[in-house]
Amino acid sequence: MARVVVDVMLKPEILDPQGQAVQRALPRLGFEGIADVRQGKRFELEVEGPVDDAALARIHEIAETFLANTVIEDFSVKVEVGEGADASAVKAES
Amino acid sequence: MTARIGVITFPGTLDDRDTQRAVRTAGLEAVPLWHRDKDLKQVDAVILPGGFSYGDYLRAGAISRFSPVMESVIDQAKAGMPVLGICNGFQVLTETHLLPGAMLRNNHLHFICRDQKLRVENAETAWTRSYEQGQEINIPLKNIDGRYVADERVLDELEAEGRVVFRYEELNPNGSLRDIAGISNAAGNVVGLMPHPEHAVEPLIGTGRTDGLGFFTSILKRLVSA
Protein backbone atom coordinates (compact mmCIF):
# COMPACT_ATOMS: atom_id res chain seq x y z
CA MET A 1 0.00 0.00 0.00
CA ALA A 2 1.26 3.41 -0.88
CA ARG A 3 0.76 6.46 1.20
CA VAL A 4 -0.32 9.77 -0.27
CA VAL A 5 0.06 12.86 1.87
CA VAL A 6 -2.20 15.85 1.44
CA ASP A 7 -1.04 19.02 3.18
CA VAL A 8 -3.57 21.78 3.66
CA MET A 9 -2.54 25.32 4.63
CA LEU A 10 -4.51 28.53 5.03
CA LYS A 11 -3.82 30.87 2.13
CA PRO A 12 -1.06 33.38 2.95
CA GLU A 13 -3.47 36.33 3.04
CA ILE A 14 -5.80 34.68 5.60
CA LEU A 15 -5.19 35.59 9.25
CA ASP A 16 -4.09 32.50 11.21
CA PRO A 17 -4.66 33.26 14.92
CA GLN A 18 -3.75 29.70 15.92
CA GLY A 19 -0.34 30.01 14.28
CA GLN A 20 0.11 33.42 15.89
CA ALA A 21 -0.69 32.01 19.33
CA VAL A 22 1.98 29.34 18.84
CA GLN A 23 4.49 31.92 17.61
CA ARG A 24 3.84 34.19 20.60
CA ALA A 25 4.39 31.31 23.01
CA LEU A 26 7.84 30.48 21.63
CA PRO A 27 9.85 33.25 23.36
CA ARG A 28 8.20 32.33 26.67
CA LEU A 29 9.57 28.83 26.19
CA GLY A 30 13.03 30.15 25.40
CA PHE A 31 12.88 29.67 21.63
CA GLU A 32 13.99 32.89 19.97
CA GLY A 33 14.24 33.91 16.36
CA ILE A 34 11.00 32.47 14.95
CA ALA A 35 9.43 35.32 13.02
CA ASP A 36 6.18 33.63 12.05
CA VAL A 37 4.24 30.38 12.50
CA ARG A 38 1.32 29.14 10.43
CA GLN A 39 -0.65 26.05 11.34
CA GLY A 40 -2.05 23.61 8.80
CA LYS A 41 -3.41 20.09 8.45
CA ARG A 42 -1.79 16.93 7.13
CA PHE A 43 -3.85 14.00 5.84
CA GLU A 44 -2.20 10.60 5.24
CA LEU A 45 -4.17 8.48 2.80
CA GLU A 46 -3.32 4.77 2.57
CA VAL A 47 -4.18 3.85 -0.99
CA GLU A 48 -5.16 0.37 -2.11
CA GLY A 49 -3.64 -0.61 -5.47
CA PRO A 50 -1.20 1.38 -7.55
CA VAL A 51 -0.88 5.11 -7.23
CA ASP A 52 -1.10 5.79 -10.93
CA ASP A 53 -2.26 8.93 -12.68
CA ALA A 54 -5.90 7.97 -12.32
CA ALA A 55 -5.54 7.37 -8.58
CA LEU A 56 -3.69 10.64 -8.17
CA ALA A 57 -6.34 12.48 -10.10
CA ARG A 58 -8.96 11.05 -7.74
CA ILE A 59 -6.97 12.08 -4.68
CA HIS A 60 -6.56 15.53 -6.14
CA GLU A 61 -10.32 15.68 -6.47
CA ILE A 62 -10.78 14.51 -2.86
CA ALA A 63 -8.40 17.20 -1.69
CA GLU A 64 -10.03 19.90 -3.75
CA THR A 65 -13.66 19.13 -2.93
CA PHE A 66 -13.39 17.90 0.64
CA LEU A 67 -10.07 17.98 2.51
CA ALA A 68 -9.38 21.62 1.63
CA ASN A 69 -11.79 24.51 1.31
CA THR A 70 -10.15 26.28 -1.60
CA VAL A 71 -11.91 29.53 -0.70
CA ILE A 72 -9.48 29.86 2.22
CA GLU A 73 -6.92 27.05 1.87
CA ASP A 74 -4.19 25.81 -0.48
CA PHE A 75 -3.24 22.14 -0.66
CA SER A 76 -0.47 19.95 -1.99
CA VAL A 77 -0.45 16.23 -2.79
CA LYS A 78 2.68 14.08 -2.25
CA VAL A 79 3.21 10.39 -2.85
CA GLU A 80 5.33 8.39 -0.42
CA VAL A 81 6.31 5.16 -2.21
CA GLY A 82 6.62 2.10 0.01
CA GLU A 83 8.01 1.95 3.51
CA GLY A 84 11.33 3.63 4.05
CA ALA A 85 11.71 4.37 0.38
CA ASP A 86 12.50 7.84 -0.85
CA ALA A 87 9.47 9.99 -1.13
CA SER A 88 8.86 10.89 -4.71
CA ALA A 89 6.92 14.05 -4.70
CA VAL A 90 4.10 14.85 -7.01
CA LYS A 91 3.03 18.35 -6.24
CA ALA A 92 -0.28 19.85 -7.14
CA GLU A 93 -1.09 23.26 -5.80
CA SER A 94 -4.46 24.86 -5.87
CA MET B 1 -53.10 24.64 6.10
CA THR B 2 -50.12 26.49 7.47
CA ALA B 3 -46.66 26.72 5.98
CA ARG B 4 -44.33 23.79 6.62
CA ILE B 5 -40.79 24.64 7.67
CA GLY B 6 -38.22 21.82 7.61
CA VAL B 7 -35.61 21.82 10.37
CA ILE B 8 -32.66 19.56 9.62
CA THR B 9 -30.89 17.54 12.29
CA PHE B 10 -27.32 16.41 11.59
CA PRO B 11 -25.36 14.29 14.07
CA GLY B 12 -24.13 16.97 16.50
CA THR B 13 -26.85 19.53 15.83
CA LEU B 14 -27.86 21.18 19.12
CA ASP B 15 -30.43 23.82 18.35
CA ASP B 16 -32.94 21.88 16.27
CA ARG B 17 -35.52 21.72 19.07
CA ASP B 18 -35.23 25.44 19.85
CA THR B 19 -35.58 26.16 16.13
CA GLN B 20 -38.66 23.93 15.83
CA ARG B 21 -40.13 25.74 18.84
CA ALA B 22 -39.40 29.16 17.29
CA VAL B 23 -41.09 28.03 14.07
CA ARG B 24 -44.20 26.98 16.03
CA THR B 25 -44.14 30.18 18.09
CA ALA B 26 -44.42 32.09 14.82
CA GLY B 27 -47.51 30.07 13.94
CA LEU B 28 -45.86 27.74 11.41
CA GLU B 29 -45.59 23.97 11.26
CA ALA B 30 -42.15 22.58 12.08
CA VAL B 31 -41.17 19.46 10.12
CA PRO B 32 -38.15 17.59 11.52
CA LEU B 33 -35.78 16.38 8.76
CA TRP B 34 -32.97 13.88 9.27
CA HIS B 35 -29.66 14.40 7.50
CA ARG B 36 -29.89 11.02 5.76
CA ASP B 37 -33.29 11.78 4.22
CA LYS B 38 -33.17 12.90 0.62
CA ASP B 39 -36.89 13.59 0.81
CA LEU B 40 -37.68 17.10 2.01
CA LYS B 41 -41.30 16.08 2.77
CA GLN B 42 -42.71 18.89 0.65
CA VAL B 43 -41.69 21.64 3.05
CA ASP B 44 -42.01 25.28 1.97
CA ALA B 45 -38.67 26.32 3.47
CA VAL B 46 -35.70 24.79 5.29
CA ILE B 47 -33.69 25.88 8.32
CA LEU B 48 -30.22 24.51 9.07
CA PRO B 49 -29.92 25.03 12.82
CA GLY B 50 -26.89 25.63 15.02
CA GLY B 51 -24.67 23.13 16.77
CA PHE B 52 -21.56 21.16 15.90
CA SER B 53 -22.52 18.88 13.06
CA TYR B 54 -20.11 15.93 12.81
CA GLY B 55 -18.24 17.49 15.73
CA ASP B 56 -16.94 20.22 13.41
CA TYR B 57 -14.26 17.70 12.36
CA LEU B 58 -12.25 18.69 9.27
CA ARG B 59 -13.89 22.16 9.15
CA ALA B 60 -17.14 23.43 10.64
CA GLY B 61 -19.94 22.30 8.33
CA ALA B 62 -17.65 20.49 5.88
CA ILE B 63 -18.83 16.92 6.42
CA SER B 64 -22.54 17.82 6.67
CA ARG B 65 -22.26 19.41 3.28
CA PHE B 66 -22.12 15.91 1.79
CA SER B 67 -25.18 14.58 3.65
CA PRO B 68 -27.92 13.19 1.38
CA VAL B 69 -30.38 15.83 2.60
CA MET B 70 -28.07 18.60 1.42
CA GLU B 71 -28.25 17.42 -2.20
CA SER B 72 -31.98 18.12 -2.11
CA VAL B 73 -31.51 21.38 -0.20
CA ILE B 74 -28.96 22.62 -2.76
CA ASP B 75 -31.28 21.76 -5.68
CA GLN B 76 -34.31 23.38 -4.07
CA ALA B 77 -32.38 26.45 -2.91
CA LYS B 78 -31.22 27.01 -6.47
CA ALA B 79 -34.85 26.70 -7.56
CA GLY B 80 -35.82 29.46 -5.12
CA MET B 81 -36.86 27.68 -1.91
CA PRO B 82 -36.09 29.80 1.16
CA VAL B 83 -33.19 28.41 3.24
CA LEU B 84 -31.92 29.86 6.52
CA GLY B 85 -28.60 28.77 8.03
CA ILE B 86 -28.02 29.72 11.66
CA CYS B 87 -24.45 29.48 13.05
CA ASN B 88 -23.36 25.94 12.12
CA GLY B 89 -26.05 26.11 9.44
CA PHE B 90 -24.36 29.23 8.05
CA GLN B 91 -21.07 27.31 8.00
CA VAL B 92 -22.76 24.48 6.09
CA LEU B 93 -24.14 27.00 3.56
CA THR B 94 -20.68 28.45 2.87
CA GLU B 95 -19.25 24.92 2.51
CA THR B 96 -21.95 24.12 -0.08
CA HIS B 97 -21.12 27.39 -1.87
CA LEU B 98 -24.78 28.42 -1.72
CA LEU B 99 -23.27 31.42 0.07
CA PRO B 100 -19.82 32.82 -0.77
CA GLY B 101 -16.84 33.08 1.58
CA ALA B 102 -15.89 30.87 4.52
CA MET B 103 -16.05 30.75 8.30
CA LEU B 104 -12.86 30.56 10.36
CA ARG B 105 -11.78 30.33 14.01
CA ASN B 106 -12.51 33.54 15.95
CA ASN B 107 -9.58 35.94 15.81
CA HIS B 108 -9.12 35.76 19.62
CA LEU B 109 -9.46 31.94 19.64
CA HIS B 110 -12.06 31.95 22.44
CA PHE B 111 -15.52 30.48 22.38
CA ILE B 112 -17.84 33.45 22.81
CA CYS B 113 -21.35 33.55 24.25
CA ARG B 114 -23.07 36.92 24.59
CA ASP B 115 -26.09 39.02 23.72
CA GLN B 116 -25.17 40.62 20.43
CA LYS B 117 -26.48 43.77 18.83
CA LEU B 118 -26.98 43.56 15.07
CA ARG B 119 -28.07 46.04 12.45
CA VAL B 120 -30.49 44.74 9.82
CA GLU B 121 -28.93 45.96 6.58
CA ASN B 122 -31.39 44.32 4.22
CA ALA B 123 -35.06 43.85 5.10
CA GLU B 124 -35.98 42.50 1.67
CA THR B 125 -34.74 38.91 1.96
CA ALA B 126 -37.07 35.96 2.49
CA TRP B 127 -36.06 35.87 6.17
CA THR B 128 -35.95 39.57 7.10
CA ARG B 129 -39.22 41.06 5.85
CA SER B 130 -40.58 41.56 9.35
CA TYR B 131 -37.72 43.96 10.09
CA GLU B 132 -36.95 47.43 8.81
CA GLN B 133 -33.75 48.41 7.12
CA GLY B 134 -31.40 49.87 9.71
CA GLN B 135 -33.28 48.32 12.62
CA GLU B 136 -31.16 47.27 15.58
CA ILE B 137 -31.91 43.87 17.08
CA ASN B 138 -30.38 42.04 20.03
CA ILE B 139 -30.09 38.25 19.89
CA PRO B 140 -27.71 35.67 21.43
CA LEU B 141 -24.41 34.74 19.80
CA LYS B 142 -22.39 31.62 20.67
CA ASN B 143 -19.59 30.22 18.57
CA ILE B 144 -15.87 29.65 18.14
CA ASP B 145 -15.76 29.52 14.34
CA GLY B 146 -17.58 32.75 13.59
CA ARG B 147 -15.04 34.81 11.65
CA TYR B 148 -16.48 35.50 8.22
CA VAL B 149 -13.89 35.88 5.47
CA ALA B 150 -14.04 36.33 1.71
CA ASP B 151 -11.71 38.01 -0.75
CA GLU B 152 -12.05 41.75 -1.41
CA ARG B 153 -13.81 41.23 -4.73
CA VAL B 154 -16.52 39.08 -3.13
CA LEU B 155 -16.90 41.50 -0.21
CA ASP B 156 -17.32 44.44 -2.60
CA GLU B 157 -19.87 42.49 -4.61
CA LEU B 158 -21.86 41.58 -1.46
CA GLU B 159 -21.91 45.24 -0.37
CA ALA B 160 -22.84 46.52 -3.83
CA GLU B 161 -25.73 44.07 -4.19
CA GLY B 162 -27.09 44.64 -0.67
CA ARG B 163 -26.25 41.07 0.30
CA VAL B 164 -24.69 41.98 3.64
CA VAL B 165 -27.91 41.31 5.55
CA PHE B 166 -26.64 41.83 9.12
CA ARG B 167 -23.69 43.66 10.62
CA TYR B 168 -22.36 43.50 14.17
CA GLU B 169 -23.11 46.69 16.12
CA GLU B 170 -20.89 48.16 18.87
CA LEU B 171 -18.58 45.15 19.01
CA ASN B 172 -17.25 42.77 16.39
CA PRO B 173 -17.12 39.55 18.42
CA ASN B 174 -14.89 37.44 16.19
CA GLY B 175 -12.95 39.47 13.65
CA SER B 176 -15.42 39.02 10.80
CA LEU B 177 -14.41 41.13 7.81
CA ARG B 178 -16.40 44.37 7.49
CA ASP B 179 -18.35 43.43 10.67
CA ILE B 180 -20.40 40.96 8.66
CA ALA B 181 -22.79 38.86 10.78
CA GLY B 182 -24.95 37.51 7.97
CA ILE B 183 -25.29 37.45 4.19
CA SER B 184 -27.66 36.29 1.47
CA ASN B 185 -27.36 34.81 -1.99
CA ALA B 186 -28.13 36.98 -5.01
CA ALA B 187 -31.80 35.93 -5.12
CA GLY B 188 -32.30 36.65 -1.40
CA ASN B 189 -33.89 33.27 -0.63
CA VAL B 190 -30.78 31.83 1.05
CA VAL B 191 -29.63 33.64 4.19
CA GLY B 192 -26.94 32.69 6.73
CA LEU B 193 -25.99 34.36 10.00
CA MET B 194 -23.89 33.51 13.03
CA PRO B 195 -26.11 34.77 15.91
CA HIS B 196 -29.15 32.79 17.03
CA PRO B 197 -32.61 34.30 16.46
CA GLU B 198 -34.29 31.08 17.65
CA HIS B 199 -33.01 31.74 21.19
CA ALA B 200 -34.82 35.09 21.36
CA VAL B 201 -38.46 34.40 20.55
CA GLU B 202 -39.94 34.38 24.04
CA PRO B 203 -39.47 37.06 26.72
CA LEU B 204 -38.66 34.56 29.47
CA ILE B 205 -35.50 33.17 27.89
CA GLY B 206 -32.43 34.35 26.01
CA THR B 207 -32.04 38.11 25.89
CA GLY B 208 -35.43 38.66 27.52
CA ARG B 209 -36.55 40.13 24.22
CA THR B 210 -38.28 38.61 21.22
CA ASP B 211 -36.08 40.22 18.57
CA GLY B 212 -35.46 36.90 16.85
CA LEU B 213 -39.10 36.15 16.14
CA GLY B 214 -39.04 38.34 13.03
CA PHE B 215 -37.05 35.71 11.12
CA PHE B 216 -39.84 33.20 11.50
CA THR B 217 -42.70 35.64 10.86
CA SER B 218 -40.78 36.97 7.81
CA ILE B 219 -40.87 33.57 6.18
CA LEU B 220 -44.61 33.36 6.75
CA LYS B 221 -45.06 36.72 4.98
CA ARG B 222 -42.88 35.53 2.13
CA LEU B 223 -44.72 32.23 1.73
CA VAL B 224 -48.13 33.86 1.90
CA SER B 225 -47.17 36.43 -0.73
CA ALA B 226 -45.46 33.87 -3.00
Cβ B108–A71 below 8 Å, yes or no?
no
- Which residues in chain A have Cβ-Cβ distances shorter than 8 Å to B177? none
Task: State the pairing for strand pair B83-86/B45-48.
Answer: parallel
pLDDT digit string (tens) for chain A, length 94 residues: 899 999 999 999 999 999 999 999 999 999 999 999 999 999 999 999 999 999 999 999 999 999 999 999 999 999 987 654 444 445 545 4
Shortest alpha-carbon distance between residue B60 and chain A (Å)? 11
This model of the complex carries an ipTM of 0.84
The answer to whether residues B145 and B57 touch, using CB atoms and an 8 Å cutoff, is no
Tell me the C-alpha to C-alpha distance, in Å, between residue A31 and each of A24, A25, A38, A66, B125.
10, 9, 16, 36, 52
List C-alpha distances in Å: B104 to A12, B65, B125: 14, 16, 25
Going by C-beta distance under 8 Å and a sequence separation of 6 or more, which residues neighbour residue B97?
none
Among residues B35, B95, B121, B196, which one is catalytic?
A: B196
Active site residue B198: yes
Contact A67 B58 (CB under 8 A): yes
CB contact under 8 A, A69 and B149: no
- Express each pLDDT in B15-65 by its tens digit: 999 999 999 999 999 999 999 999 999 999 999 999 999 999 999 999 999
Angle B213-225/B16-25 helices, nearest 10 degrees? Answer: 60
Residues of B whose CB is below 8 A from A10: 104
B62 touches chain A (CB under 8 A): yes
- Among this protein's residues, is B113 annotated catalytic? no
Please write the tens of the pLDDT for every residue from B93-139: 999 999 999 999 999 999 999 999 999 999 999 999 999 999 999 99
Of A13, A21, A71, the CB nearest to B102: A71
Inter-residue contact B13 to B51 (CB < 8 Å): yes
Per-residue pLDDT at A93: 52
Cβ distance of B104 and A14 shorter than 8 Å: yes
- State whether A72 and B149 contact (CB < 8 Å): yes
CA distance B109 to chain A (A): 7
Q: What percent of chain B shows pLDDT beyond 70?
A: 99
Find out whether B82 and B99 touch, Cβ atoms under 8 Å.
Answer: no
Q: Does A14 lie at the interface with B, CB-CB under 8 angstroms?
A: yes
pTM confidence score:
0.91
Domains in chain B, number: 1
CATH number at residue B137: 3.40.50.880
Residue A87 is given by DSSP the state P
Residue B58 lies in domain: 2-223
Interface check B5 vs A, CB under 8 A: no
Per-residue pLDDT at B205: 83
